Amino acid sequence: MKISVITLGCKVNECESRSLIAALREAGNIVDEEFSKSDIYIINTCSVTAEADRKSRQMVGRAMRLNPNAKIYVCGCSSQNNPTAFEKYPNVIGISGNGKKGAIIRCIMSDIVGNSALNVGDIPSYFEDLPMPSHEKTRDFIKVQDGCNNFCSYCVIPYVRGRSRSRSLESVLREAEEAAKHTQEIVLTGIDVSSYGKDIGLSLTDLVNALGDLPVRKRMSSFECTVIDKPLLRALKNSGFCDHFHLSLQSGSDDVLKAMNRKYTTAKYFETVETVSEYFPNAGITTDVIVGFPNETEENFEETCDFVRKVGFSDIHIFPYSERKGTRAADMPQIPMELRRKRAHILGEIKEGLKKNFLEKQIAKTLNVYFEESKGEEGVGYAENYVRVYAKAKRGEIKPVKITELYKKGVR
């Protein structure tokens, strides 16, 4: 049987899809991770923005055009948030959400169609272990946590992913040890990795320490500034974690942070950045920023611009605010989309300047680079601080490289 598994959204979705793919292949199916003409399609959807919901529905239509007789299963955040949006498609024979994704495999293998075998139900209160995923990529992501307790006023994810729940250390270690046989770098990911362990009597520091002896490079996908302290930083340094910190910011205005229900101030955030720099002097600090949040004044926006300059981020992901029905922010006075886009453009220009400044600081330094691609003699990879590096190298090679100049999207 030919099956296509299509994944939208975050790395957590990717991890879950890889588990489904591995189990389906083990059962003897031909599985494609891209769109191709298939007997069955599994669409693992995203709902982080209204645009993500729209794309999720588009994927169903695309599958039907590729094969009008295909059977389609829909799962993930968009179908958890609004399952009725997928019921109108005649080829959709199963709709589930974020719970019991493994049931999709049983339904496919049992050829259960056209009934209520697969439903959007309650999200479990515990971490669901899926089948061991395949580990074939140069850099491998390992899901260690799911759900979120933060309830930021703009975000629908706690409602579609449920409360924070952590994977057991034993289960994480089993997958990490398997991944280490096939890759030289792993990335720990989750919906809110910073909350790891709180529900099972552990902490993020415990997780970091447990992976210390694993003979691969390690990264954390993201951090909340509120969990970073000196014991955690010491553990990261001693356990071979890279000096790249994706510290979620969202706004550089304290008024906007309060309206967003974020649990820190800009002063706390900057203090965290300074502490990180004590332990990792050449760290790449990246972040996310939402512009055009409801009631964001011109002064608030200027505060954000000034703050990102003060921090000196190595890169910024910028998002114009997107209303999500059911969140508190959706009921606040909205800023015109044109102004949101204008602010995103202005911040984007600042971002490019900061990124260039950080890259220039790498010149004459020697960085350890993991080369993930190669074309001819030129290899492309990432240094530990997530700087993109071009050099003479082979795919899969880690080696020290002396940086000489800015080049393309990074340095050479």
Residues 343 and 389 in one domain: no
Structure tokens at 319: 């998002």
Q: Are 348 and 310 in contact (CB under 8 A)?
A: no
* pLDDT at residue 106, rounded to an integer: 83
Q: Could you tell me if residue 126 is inside a domain?
A: no
Residues 344 and 372 in one domain: no
Last residue of a domain, one of 63, 90, 110: 110
Q: Tens digits of per-residue pLDDT, 327-341?
A: 999 999 999 999 999
Residues of the chain falling short of pLDDT 70 = 111-118
Q: Could you tell me if residue 374 is inside a domain?
A: yes
**Interatomic CA distance for residues 206 and 223, integer angstroms:** 15
Which spans in 99-229 are helix H? 103-110, 157-161, 169-179, 204-210
Q: Could you tell me if residue 33 is inside a domain?
A: yes
**Interatomic CA distance for residues 297 and 310, integer angstroms:** 20
71's enclosing H/E stretch is: strand 71-76
**Interatomic CA distance for residues 318 and 217, integer angstroms:** 28
Beta-bridge mates of residue 288: 317
CATH number, domain containing residue 201: 3.80.30.20
Last residue of a domain, one of 359, 378, 394: 359
Q: Could you tell me if residue 342 is inside a domain?
A: yes
**Which amino acid is it at 95?**
I
Instruction: Sheet with 185-189: list strands edge to edge.
Output: 139-143, 185-189, 217-220
Closest by CA to 45, choosing from 56, 35, 34, 54, is: 56
* pLDDT at residue 134, rounded to an integer: 82
Q: Give 15's Cβ-side CA count (13 Å radius).
A: 27
CB contact set of 10 (below 8 Å; sequence gap of 6+)? 46, 48, 189, 191
Q: Could you tell me if residue 153 is inside a domain?
A: yes
The total domain count for the chain is: 3
**105 three-state secondary structure:** helix
Residues 347 and 375 in one domain: no
Residues 34 and 62 in one domain: yes
* pLDDT at residue 115, rounded to an integer: 41
Domain range for 387 is 366-411
CATH number, domain containing residue 7: 3.40.50.12160
The CA distances from residue 155 to 98, 230, 323, in Å, are 16, 30, 9
Residues 34 and 85 in one domain: yes
Residues 226 and 155 in one domain: yes
Q: Could you tell me if residue 71 is inside a domain?
A: yes
Residues 347 and 270 in one domain: yes
Residues 171 and 305 in one domain: yes
* pLDDT at residue 111, rounded to an integer: 66
Residues 401 and 327 in one domain: no
Q: Could you tell me if residue 117 is inside a domain?
A: no
Quote the distance between the C-alpha of residue 271 and its chain's center.
Answer: 25
Residues 225 and 344 in one domain: yes
CB contact set of 171 (below 8 Å; sequence gap of 6+)? 129
Residues 238 and 377 in one domain: no
Residues 41 and 162 in one domain: no
Q: Could you tell me if residue 46 is inside a domain?
A: yes
Residue 217 DSSP label: E
Tokens 């959400």 map to which residue? 97
**Interatomic CA distance for residues 128 and 331, integer angstroms:** 34
Last residue of a domain, one of 91, 110, 129: 110
Q: What sign does the CA torsion over 394, 395, 399, 400 have?
A: positive
